[in-house]
Structure 1
């Protein structure tokens, strides 16, 4: 299959080693500025995929991210932030990476080249037609990811992807592809840069929009967030104060009792 892998194309910049620190930073920033515009062009694709995910989540299904290297880590980051931010169970959004959890911190050689392990990893979670699987790979050629989506398709499981190469095997495999063309990286082939940023932006959009659609946000506030540290407790107190007009001490007392911002607000409004 012939396609242009723009993520591997030569950088627009030469002799990076001769640049000053200021020039390096300025040029990286110049390239980074192009990423949101590339994501903007993919908004219809992102919307299409989200419209498939939301009904599945509402009916008790799950969202899986599966990737290798930087892409896999980005999926795991997004998945791991959903429970504390939106108060959902850890099994609602799940991130998988080639090589397993050890690969989050340290690269596992050749793990991404397996054409069977991705499906094995998904089956460890009893994957079913109720779920959605998003393959993440900047190159669009990662065997671990493509083979997993192939198996999902064969078993009637909805598939999407986030990639940065148009016409890639991954984009052609996913039922609902998201393709963000960011072009050559500042350092040739270093897809942890613009491609990674694009993937992070898209993941933010997917999880945040899905959770809003699931009713996990009230107004613009994270009323279902887990009160797992002092910063979040203080944020929760401020939310309760603003919504109810209660004093800080009363808001804090109710929050300590009920452990959930939404519950306190609903309780107060019910008593009015």
Structure 2
């Protein structure tokens, strides 16, 4: 029995009050960061290898199915606005294609060969890195993609929530975050999904910091794509240069990014 499929520690959920449900779900969720803490060395080893390749122009790919695939797509899609990188630097691929982001695509995760076909559309190569995401660690789409990439000299990692899975065996740098049974038995969008999201946050954030996309603690390369972000950018420029709001607005408008606005006054 997989840990992710084992019976919940709670029963008769339908008899619980809303308060009891929320309290028990929250108490279960509190255990997730501690499970992640235990595997920080695994995450660190994977990140160090990803950074080496991305410093040479490599890209980072995520593959997954269902919730795991969606989490990868979300993390990848947030890198361009947050760090100003091109959309082809961090790429999330979900089994069944983009339509599977909103609706389940029947049997999409069962084809071991499809992930490699999907990755070839991006001309994946040995400078790139691949992370396979699967709570169960047994999703054929993900295992097949990781196996093939590793055979072809591409760096492979994975995020799974079971120990000793086929996916972990296939990956060069496995990350196994064992969060225990779900509150609703087998509902891996809960604790397992939370763990995967936390690890993805750690990976993409650490990688972008190491690539120089953060200065101090600020997202100096973020895209100024809405009013909130423009205001944030203005505050960053004000703080960094110790100037007033009007001067900061003018510099930001002139240069188009926080980094360029600040650097223009420090040359």
- TM interval, shorter chain, is over 0.9
* Correspondences of 1:234-249 after superposition (within 5 Å): 234-249=231-246
Who is 2:250 aligned against? 253
Give how far 1:207 is off.
0.2
SS at match of 2:127: coil
SS at match of 1:60: coil
Measured in 2, the distance between the counterparts of 1:124 and 1:42 equals: 33
Give unpaired runs (5+ residues) of structure 1: none
Who is 1:170 aligned against? 167
Which of residues 110, 114, 122 in structure 2 aligns to 1:113?
110
Measured in 2, the distance between the counterparts of 1:245 and 1:205 equals: 31
Offset from partner CA, 1:59-97 (integer Å, 9 cap, x none): 000000000000000000000000000011101000000
Who is 1:35 aligned against? 32
Give how far 1:148 is off.
0.6
TM-score (norm. length: structure 2)? 0.99
Measured in 2, the distance between the counterparts of 1:251 and 1:27 equals: 48
Give RMSD over aligned pairs: 0.5
Who is 2:76 aligned against? 79
Who is 1:269 aligned against? 266
Who is 1:204 aligned against? 201
Measured in 2, the distance between the counterparts of 1:188 and 1:83 equals: 36
Pairing 1:138–2:135 present: yes
TM-score (norm. length: structure 1)? 0.98
SS at match of 2:77: helix
Measured in 2, the distance between the counterparts of 1:54 and 1:154 equals: 21
Who is 1:151 aligned against? 148
SS at match of 1:159: strand
Offset from partner CA, 1:23-82 (integer Å, 9 cap, x none): 000000000000000000000000000010001111000000000000000000000000
Which of residues 121, 124, 129 in structure 2 aligns to 1:124?
121
Which of residues 188, 192, 208 in structure 2 aligns to 1:195?
192
Pairing 1:181–2:178 present: yes
Which of residues 225, 228, 242 in structure 2 aligns to 1:228?
225
SS at match of 2:123: coil
SS at match of 1:118: helix
Measured in 2, the distance between the counterparts of 1:208 and 1:14 equals: 38
SS at match of 2:261: helix
Measured in 2, the distance between the counterparts of 1:154 and 1:251 equals: 51
Equivalent pairs counted in the alignment come to 267
Give how far 1:245 is off.
1.3
Who is 2:92 aligned against? 95
